[in-house]
Structure 1
């Protein structure tokens, strides 16, 4: 007697856990670079986020009478926690990452029924809630530790996150007070604010937070930020090579940002378009956030439209909005449009004709 099983009878082997694990592995070089340039706070934030995320996942699956180990072992909640931990300032208070993780796991994921049923990217929901609710904590970035007279140790990072002061009693503001031109703003924010105030890019570039790794045109890239973006780019290319993500969304996303940056560079005194690629969360958003398989478009044409739409929204927010970067808002707004995009970009089924066709 033959064993009867339901379709599909062939499997690609791309289990959810395996996909999530590859994405986590691809993020590791960028996380290491972020630790090198911005200190151990990233590591502590990641530990807090992952610990709470696993705890919440266990509690929710227990309440919903679901197989606990099965859902925890798919690594999806760990990936969500890591993305959120990397996105927030490394030395934000501990309660910031805890609130963001709770919102991401509960409100953005399990309220909709769990993985595969959520409408919005969970990590970006948590990030946006934090950014709107706690703007001061979410915009207080420490410059690269190489610029500090006394780079914070692991003990300092732990003390800053849990008490607001280093082991020597210095606050984040005091740690940067000795650095000329540092106001705890990111390079992207510094350029946007400087241009609006009428300052020349050459003058803005004199700030120590701008490095000179590559000649990106009128202004050098942000020190530390460009290197982290470069590692996210390498990780994203690795994911495309492994066929974990498709090329359409990142390519459309980056192409639109380059085009907008190029036009702005021609019409106004704006940085070289390549500068926008390696500033803020551009590469992180292109390869690790916008490509979320649950909340992004799933059709080939739809992926291109979705990536371009998110790229346009990022540029509009960067150039004309009130926030220096807009990846989180752009991705969530793009998620809203996914059902419509997929509906009008569905491939024609073999044997069927278009309406009115033969």
Structure 2
């Protein structure tokens, strides 16, 4: 009976959904891509995933413990950050790279700014960009040691070294879209299989952890951009190669949709997705590298306060001032 008369300050909306529930659901949604990455790249990928997760969890635990703060590793956010960071690494990366990246993601990007809910950009992507800037050679070494098939004489190929699909597209060459869709190609641990990522995305959509506003606006705006400026028109191989190649699917469904770094307004989420799509297109078509998803998302993260300011609806019964 006492619960009916509990007194508290507004807001008075209550939900049984906890942060840990959401984080766990995203982790589950990433399992198909994670499992395929381990199957495709072998033990080295599994080791990097374990090291990355362990470094993120340990960094969060020890920082909060020694700073006399509530230890929040039980909300699974550090595990998710470590998993996303690992999925954005090449399988041949040394073990110390996910460790360094995990420390940077949790300590510098997340905890220094107040912890979960206060970080100004996606920690996993910030760590990836930090590693990319610091160790560009190692972060772009995509020697492929996965399931590459056999030669004409039946000898099994253990590894190949060459350009990524996006680099081939940028050079004007054709790519095998089916390999990109299934994932038997070069790339980072978690980005190669568009099929595995779409299975996870469908799961998140079905349980309503995410919706189509951000990823839909992102993918659609990017597609329109490359059709207009890519020089290939409606060439399906070119368009699907860009969509399935690189980190676009991983970024669109699992990182651009991060609750903390996404606008809270519905119209703002659409604007946010469009900006990411346009930036990704600019970086891929006119930049010095073939990728661009990570930088597009973190730059858009920094624009979220401005997006929210211009898209927040006026209070009921009030009119927006003309100078706003």
Distance 1:254 1:335 in 2: 17
* Equivalent residue for 1:67, pick from 64, 70, 88: 70
CA contact (8 A) 1:265 1:271 kept: no
**Structure 2: 5+ residue runs without aligned partners?**
151-156
Note the alpha carbon deviations across 1:148-198, whole angstroms, 9 max, x for none: 77xxxxxxxxxxxxxxxxxxxxxxxx964xx5xx42x32112322x23xxx
Name 2:201's counterpart in structure 1.
Answer: 236
CA contact (8 A) 1:229 1:281 kept: no
Distance 1:106 1:270 in 2: 43
Instruction: Report deviation, 1:230.
Output: 2.0
| Pairing 1:249–2:214 present | yes
| Pairing 1:188–2:166 present | yes
CA contact (8 A) 2:183 2:194 kept: no
**Relative to structure 1, is the Cα distance of residues 32 and 265 closer, same or farther in structure 2, using a 3 angstrom cutoff?**
farther
Bigger mean CA offset, 270-279 vs 108-117? 270-279
Note the alpha carbon deviations across 1:74-129, whole angstroms, 9 max, x for none: 11111001000000001200111111111101111011111111111111110001
Name 1:31's counterpart in structure 2.
Answer: 34
CA contact (8 A) 1:265 1:272 kept: no
Name 2:254's counterpart in structure 1.
Answer: 288
Distance 2:244 2:30 in 1: 16
**Relative to structure 1, is the Cα distance of residues 227 and 323 closer, same or farther in structure 2, using a 3 angstrom cutoff?**
closer
Name 2:315's counterpart in structure 1.
Answer: 349
Q: Secondary structure at the match of 1:145?
A: coil
Q: Secondary structure at the match of 2:147?
A: helix
Name 1:114's counterpart in structure 2.
Answer: 115
**Relative to structure 1, is the Cα distance of residues 46 and 227 closer, same or farther in structure 2, using a 3 angstrom cutoff?**
closer
Instruction: Report deviation, 1:355.
Output: 3.0
Structure 1 length as normaliser, TM-score? 0.79
Q: In angstroms, what is the RMSD of aligned CA positions?
A: 2.6
Name 2:154's counterpart in structure 1.
Answer: none
Distance 1:222 1:228 in 2: 4
Distance 1:132 1:305 in 2: 28
Name 2:153's counterpart in structure 1.
Answer: none
Bigger mean CA offset, 265-274 vs 297-306? 265-274
Name 1:129's counterpart in structure 2.
Answer: 130
Name 1:160's counterpart in structure 2.
Answer: none
Q: Secondary structure at the match of 1:91?
A: coil
**Structure 1: 5+ residue runs without aligned partners?**
150-173, 196-200, 215-219
